[in-house]
Chains A and B, each alone.
Chain A
């Protein structure tokens, strides 16, 4: 609704067909729109329970159980954790925050969390800047060979990090970036740029040409057109791209494992795997607390932007 209102605002001078065209991409972003009930009213309740609700519930239990287990272990006192005969392991009595407290105040965990956030945000910002320019040039400036460059960027999306990390580690050494967070900030955009360029190209294509032509006639430069007309209209796309990029960075493992060696520069996933595995029988509590605290920021972010997230996922696949 807010989007439509904004369009009505803008559309006053641009004409109704332009506004119509603008509403179309808005519909696209909300791809998960609910259908009406359809023919489902023909099914009786028992049939629905057996064919839909029970299988769905089973799948959801399997999908969510590891998280329940993660949370439970993180707040369970050690004696309940290891004594399976006296305590039912599925529940917790007298939960404790000892593991989380220990994690946050007695290990370098805050530092790792900070590293992860800093690297993710910086790499996302860099790649978004580069992808906006690239996507705009490919869809709108349309220089010679633009479509081939678009295809090449899509191919770059398909190059997995696991075949690049060995040569990249020598490149990182050559550039003198080894064991520095800047190595990751500069390398992550290679994962993010292809994806976000592709996503933004889809958004830019849906913005009508007429708006741009008007601006060109009024004497705007390409840069002004991009910052004052295209970007404000592509805000949903920008949000989708940045959230998804942030998640990808947070999740990245193999580069962080290869390029970082000192404890203080590690990211959360690498640190969890390498620093907590010390053979201590009581490590499980702090290990799960670490996994929980490391995932929570992403889950919170996701819960605010579910639709954008889904749009990013499906948008990158659809084109």
Chain B
């Protein structure tokens, strides 16, 4: 540095001091701050703050138009004794498990079918996704009409085929209603799972199957030892999303049954809406909503440990 001291005088005149304003404009941390500001603003104001507020509200007796006072765990104690809450929780779990299992099985099967050589493959794939594009409520309305007690097309077809004489009351009997909403949920969820798993299937090199065929592997062995292991990471992510969104489902139930008949199809989300918004007991509604969090965390944790397997699958170490 000392050998250029002769030049410093000249340089000093052209380089001005780094001002605070320059720092705000070019410093890495400050730039990052400015760029993050809009997104962080939205997420903090309308996501993080309500999330905390919701947990707080579940410990209060807030009602619409009145901010409540702290009552500790009273809401939760009250809910544990409440038959309809317990039933809603049990049905939410059943709904999620049954629908997810079927969605996964049918979705995977459909993905494997779509990965084969079929004519008009691009069009078939595009068409398969339509149930996912159309807003859930609008397709639920179509299902409502299909499940109509009097004019149901399913009842009509079965009657004409001579399989039964009366009509099926799809949404009027608890067990039928539960099966119907689960069916509608499976119908809506299969395309998403099929198309995302198909994207995973397409990354499996065909040469593996060729090698397995030469070694005399059966189709089941090829699925079990090639397709399934290579697909595990994407299955973990897709199924986490599917389970999360099924567990917190609201619109399908609200459009089809609104929780009826006799509260048989209430999910935790719909019960929370009914108690919190329609009934005006915000605290209790918030408690029902907060009660979903442990289940969601459990689902995320399971997926997290599923994802960890990625490392060894890509040749890394499994530590």
Contact status B51-A197, CB under 8 Å: no
Residue B138 CB within 8 A of the other chain:
yes
Residue B237 CB within 8 A of the other chain:
yes
Given contacts A55-B109, A89-B153, A167-B54, contact A162 B145 (CB under 8 A): no
Contact status B286-A167, CB under 8 Å: yes
Dominant SS at the A interface?
Answer: helix
Dominant SS at the B interface?
Answer: helix
User: Which chain B residues lie closer than 8 Å to A55 at the CB level?
Assistant: 109, 113
Contact status A133-B38, CB under 8 Å: yes
Residue B129 CB within 8 A of the other chain:
yes
User: Which chain A residues lie closer than 8 Å to B121 at the CB level?
Assistant: 34
User: Which chain B residues lie closer than 8 Å to A273 at the CB level?
Assistant: 137, 141, 254-255
Residues of A62-104 whose CB lies within 8 A of B: 62-64, 66-67, 69-70, 73, 81-82, 84, 89-90
Residue A53 CB within 8 A of the other chain:
yes
Instruction: Tell me which of B116, B122, B248 has the highest count of chain A C-beta atoms within 10 A of its own C-beta.
Output: B116
Instruction: Tell me which of A36, A134, A167 has the highest count of chain B C-beta atoms within 10 A of its own C-beta.
Output: A167
Q: Quick check: which of A13-21, A233-241, A308-316 contacts chain B, the rest being far away?
A: A308-316
User: Which chain B residues lie closer than 8 Å to A67 at the CB level?
Assistant: 130-131, 134, 139, 142
Q: Quick check: which of A2-10, A37-45, A107-115 contacts chain B, the rest being far away?
A: A37-45
Q: How many residues of chain B have a CB within 8 Å of chain A? A: 102
Chain A contact patch, size range: 35 or more
Contact status A162-B272, CB under 8 Å: yes
Contact status B187-A318, CB under 8 Å: no
Residue A263 CB within 8 A of the other chain:
no
Residues of B185-213 whose CB lies within 8 A of A: 187, 190-192, 195-196, 198-199, 202, 206, 209-210, 213
Residue B226 CB within 8 A of the other chain:
no
User: Which chain B residues lie closer than 8 Å to A298 at the CB level?
Assistant: 133-135
CB contact between B110 and one of A59, A160, A272 (< 8 Å): that residue: A59
Residue B179 CB within 8 A of the other chain:
no
User: Which chain B residues lie closer than 8 Å to A39 at the CB level?
Assistant: 206, 209-210, 213
User: Which chain B residues lie closer than 8 Å to A284 at the CB level?
Assistant: 145, 148, 151
Residue A23 CB within 8 A of the other chain:
no
CB contact between A272 and one of B25, B138, B213 (< 8 Å): that residue: B138
Residue B126 CB within 8 A of the other chain:
yes
Given contacts A89-B153, A163-B54, A314-B195, contact A258 B141 (CB under 8 A): no
Binding site for B on A (CB under 8 A): 31-40, 48, 52-53, 55-56, 59-60, 62-64, 66-67, 69-70, 73, 81-82, 84, 89-90, 126-127, 129-131, 133-134, 136-138, 141-144, 146, 149, 153, 156, 158-171, 186-187, 189-190, 193-194, 197, 221-222, 247, 250-251, 253-254, 257-258, 268-270, 272-273, 284, 287-288, 290-291, 294-295, 298-299, 302-303, 306, 309-310, 313-314, 317-318
Binding site for A on B (CB under 8 A): 25, 28-29, 31-33, 35-43, 45-51, 53-54, 57, 62, 67, 106, 109-110, 113-118, 121-122, 124-131, 133-139, 141-143, 145-146, 148, 151, 153, 156, 187, 190-192, 195-196, 198-199, 202, 206, 209-210, 213, 234, 237-238, 241, 244-245, 248-251, 254-255, 268-269, 272-273, 276-277, 282, 285-286, 289-290, 292-293, 296, 300
Instruction: Identify 17 residue pairs between A and B in the complex whose beta-carbon atoms are under 8 Å apart, listed by A's number.
Output: A38-B206, A38-B209, A53-B118, A67-B130, A70-B139, A89-B153, A137-B31, A153-B39, A159-B47, A160-B244, A160-B245, A168-B46, A170-B282, A221-B25, A250-B135, A257-B254, A318-B234
